Amino acid sequence: MADVSREELLHIAKLANLNLKEEELDGYLSNLQDILNFANVVNNADTEGLGETIGENDKFNVFRKDEVKVFEDNEALLMNAKEKERNMFKIPKVIS
Amino acid sequence: MDITSLTVHELMEKLEKKEINSVEITKAYVDRINDKEKDVKAFVTTTCDDAMKRAKEIDNKKENGEKLSPYAGIPIGIKDNMCTKGVRTTCSSKMLENFISPYDATVVEKLNDEQIISLGKLNMDEFAMGASTEYSYFKKTANPWNLNTVPGGSSGGSAAAVAAELVPWALGSDTGGSIRQPASFCGVVGLKPTYGLVSRYGLVAFASSLDQIGPITKDVRDAAMLLNIIAGHDERDTTSYEAPKKDYVKALKNDVKGLKIGIPKEYFGEGINPEVKAKLEEAIETYKKLGAEVEEFSLDIATYALATYYIIACAEASSNLGRFDGIRYGYRTENFSNLKELYRNSRSEGFGPEVKRRIILGTYVLSSGYYDAYYKKAQQVRTLVKKEFDRAFEKYDVLLTPTSPTVAFEIGTRSNNPLEMYLADICTVSLNIAGLPGISIPCGVNSEGMPIGMQLIGNKFEEEKILNAAYTFEQEYKFRDKYKPDLCKK
């Protein structure tokens, strides 16, 4: 049985850059608990000696030349920015 | 002529014979959207004006004797997680509500190359996470067969739009069943290609090792045609497979004599609705009658595959969705005093509950202390699932299962129980885990007239076999001649 504590949930949320409100905690906790209990069935599978499959096509990777291609349409890129200055994305000050 | 009831290949014949032009086709769909979209709610964004403009241009070019693609002037709908330059791509999320992609996805480029006309972007579960389209930030799409039930998900908008004749065909994406399950719920055809066959460039990533784009269509021939258009190597997707182009329409032989069909008995056991099971058994008898060699066998991986799926998909999602930080694009909170708060508050306000749930689960299974017990173990089970399928395909050409254990359920009945929602994917996820192609086609309706779907599974890059098997059944059973949603009875 998975047993997740409130502290652990808050720690995970912090790692994921998410805030959970106090009133949401119990809901997320019980969902996480249920899903992990279900997911635990993987531990019944006999995987003795089996390797890990990371992606689907482990046998091939498709390479291309590492060439710089300039994306010309700066305007289209910056169109989605909430704040911009000249040709740049504007963000809050990082160094105080 | 009832234009919107025709399949794409029927429309193309009429275009070829000049019995109809693109403006007439597009206009028929625009009228239909204006009439029925309010009931079905399949679209996030419609682009009807632009579609009419493009239809006129294409007709003009044809009149001037220009040689165009045979598909030129055929409309389509696109799931709203594929990037379209100049038209917003929302993933049905508040996070991307106003996002306008600076480029087209490869599949969208391919549609444009054929001069296929987009009617708009179709609703989905937020970031493709869900099995009912109820997790869309914008609206709940209704199933055209019964407006109180869900269309399935996550490509619920795509399947509902095809079933309601709001588009002649559509693109969906499938990470754990998101093309096949809604196709099954809506009585249409849905094909998930082999991983690597269709480029994922410009598809907003959910779980990169599982995601594939594929067709949702009225019949199998249309699915084969749309696959012809979208399949192919793309150097912008490193997992895109380099293989010679095939013509999938040529695979449709209407003949299954000698085809070896394996029936994994575990997929017909507990939890499968009796009416679904009964229709599937009738379909199996039909295949026998048509000369296929059918045999039951054991493939005891469904539960493992589902658990593995939720571990792997959430782990990949938690990583993929890390990019949404409110800086370059996407939702940005008003409420922050430093960069960290900007990230956190933007993500917390921009993502819906199911997305957060999966990010949290994914972060948990990847965190130190749990990585081995969940993520590493799941990757090993993934190897096990692949091996079991490899063994099955040594004996059989095609495997046959239900697409979903049930027909479409009522709106609101599962959305508060995530685990129960996940069980809707039990028959479909194992294919994504193993990278295999699968098609869902309708094989009947239940006592309430709701469609039931059959899934045919093929070995890697053997789309021809499942397409032919599906086509042969379709020609014999003639679902479209027998059943229709009330919404489409004219």
- Cα A38 to Cα B93: distance, rounded to the nearest angstrom: 27
Q: What residues of chain B score a pLDDT lower than 70?
A: none
Residue in chain B closest to A35 (alpha carbons) equals B419
Pick B397 or A93 by higher pLDDT.
B397
Burial B204-234 (b: 16+ CB within 10 A, else e): bbbbbbbbbbbbbbbbbbbbbbbbbbbbbeb
**Contact present, B443 and B454 (Cβ < 8 Å):** yes
Q: Which residues of A touch B195 (CB under 8 A)?
A: 56-57
Task: Return the pLDDT at B19.
Answer: 97
Would A19 be classed as within a structural domain?
A: yes
The one-letter amino acid at B134: E
Q: Kindly state the DSSP code that residue B194 receives in the 8-state scheme.
A: P
> Is B374 touching A (CB cutoff 8 A)?
yes
**B304–A44: do the CB atoms touch at under 8 Å?**
yes
Q: Which residues of A touch B313 (CB under 8 A)?
A: none
Q: Strands B43-46 and B117-122, how do they pair?
A: antiparallel
Q: What would the two tokens of residue A57 be?
A: 């096509």
Give the structural domain span for A34: 6-43
Q: Does pLDDT of A58 surpass 60?
A: no
> Is A4 touching B (CB cutoff 8 A)?
yes
Residue in chain A closest to B212 (alpha carbons) equals A56
Q: Does pLDDT of A54 surpass 80?
A: no
> Is A49 touching B (CB cutoff 8 A)?
no
Q: For this structure, is B154 an active site residue?
A: yes
How many domains does the structure of chain A reveal?
1
Nearest of B228, B213, B237, B223 to residue B79 by alpha carbon: B213
Residue in chain B closest to A84 (alpha carbons) equals B328
- Cα B85 to Cα B200: distance, rounded to the nearest angstrom: 16
* Cα B202-B203-B205 angle, rounded to 5 deg: 120
**B327–A91: do the CB atoms touch at under 8 Å?**
yes
pLDDT in tens, B19-67: 999 999 999 999 999 999 999 999 999 999 999 999 999 999 999 999 9
Mean pLDDT is lowest, of A19-23, A25-29, A88-92, B296-300, for A88-92
Would A15 be classed as within a structural domain?
A: yes
Q: Strands B75-79 and B117-122, how do they pair?
A: parallel
Cα B217 to chain centroid, rounded = 10
Q: Does pLDDT of A50 surpass 90?
A: no
Residue in chain A closest to B195 (alpha carbons) equals A56
The size of the A-B interface in CB pairs under 8 A is: 173
Residue with tokens 């549609």: B111
Task: Return the pLDDT at B206.
Answer: 97
Residues in CB range of B185: below 8 A, 6 or more apart: B143, B149, B150, B151, B152, B156, B159, B404, B407, B408, B450, B451, B453
Would A17 be classed as within a structural domain?
A: yes
Which residue ranges form the domains of chain B, and what is each CATH number?
3-260+461-488 (3.90.1300.10)
Task: Return the pLDDT at B401.
Answer: 98
Residue in chain B closest to A80 (alpha carbons) equals B329
Q: For this structure, is B178 an active site residue?
A: yes
The packing angle between helices B274-289 and B463-477, to 10°, is 100
Q: Choosing among B192, B380, B389, B426, which should be mutated to test the A contact, i.e. which has the most A CBs within 10 A?
A: B380
> Is A18 touching B (CB cutoff 8 A)?
yes
Q: Does pLDDT of A59 surpass 80?
A: no
**A80–B325: do the CB atoms touch at under 8 Å?**
no
Would A54 be classed as within a structural domain?
A: no
Q: Per the residue annotation, which of B22, B93, B154, B184 is the catalytic one?
A: B154
pLDDT in tens, B408-461: 999 999 888 888 888 888 999 999 999 999 999 999 999 999 999 999 999 999
Would A59 be classed as within a structural domain?
A: no
**What CA–CA distances, in Å, run from B386 to B107, B239, B305?**
28, 18, 10
- How far does the CA of residue A60 sit from the closest CA of chain B (Å)? 8
* Cα B324-B326-B329 angle, rounded to 5 deg: 80
> Is A91 touching B (CB cutoff 8 A)?
yes
Would A36 be classed as within a structural domain?
A: yes
> Is A43 touching B (CB cutoff 8 A)?
yes
Q: Choosing among B84, B348, B367, which should be mutated to test the A contact, i.e. which has the most A CBs within 10 A?
A: B348
Q: For this structure, is B14 an active site residue?
A: no
Q: Per the residue annotation, which of B36, B41, B79, B484 is the catalytic one?
A: B79
- How far does the CA of residue A7 sit from the closest CA of chain B (Å)? 13
The pLDDT-based confidence of A61 (bands split at 50, 70, 90) is: low
Would A33 be classed as within a structural domain?
A: yes
- Cα B430 to Cα A22: distance, rounded to the nearest angstrom: 37
Q: Does pLDDT of A52 surpass 90?
A: no
Sign of CA dihedral B135, B139, B144, B146: positive
**A52–B435: do the CB atoms touch at under 8 Å?**
no
Q: Per the residue annotation, which of B132, B158, B178, B184 is the catalytic one?
A: B178
Q: Does pLDDT of A57 surpass 60?
A: no
Phi-psi region of B258 (alpha: psi -120 to 50; beta: other; left: phi over 0): left
Q: Does pLDDT of A62 surpass 80?
A: no
**What CA–CA distances, in Å, run from B97 to B127, B256, B431?**
12, 47, 31
DSSP for B325-353 reads SSSSSS---S--SSHHHHHHHHHHHHS-H
Element (H, E) at B217: strand B212-217
**Contact present, B171 and B147 (Cβ < 8 Å):** no
Task: Return the pLDDT at B303.
Answer: 84
The one-letter amino acid at B466: I
Would A24 be classed as within a structural domain?
A: yes
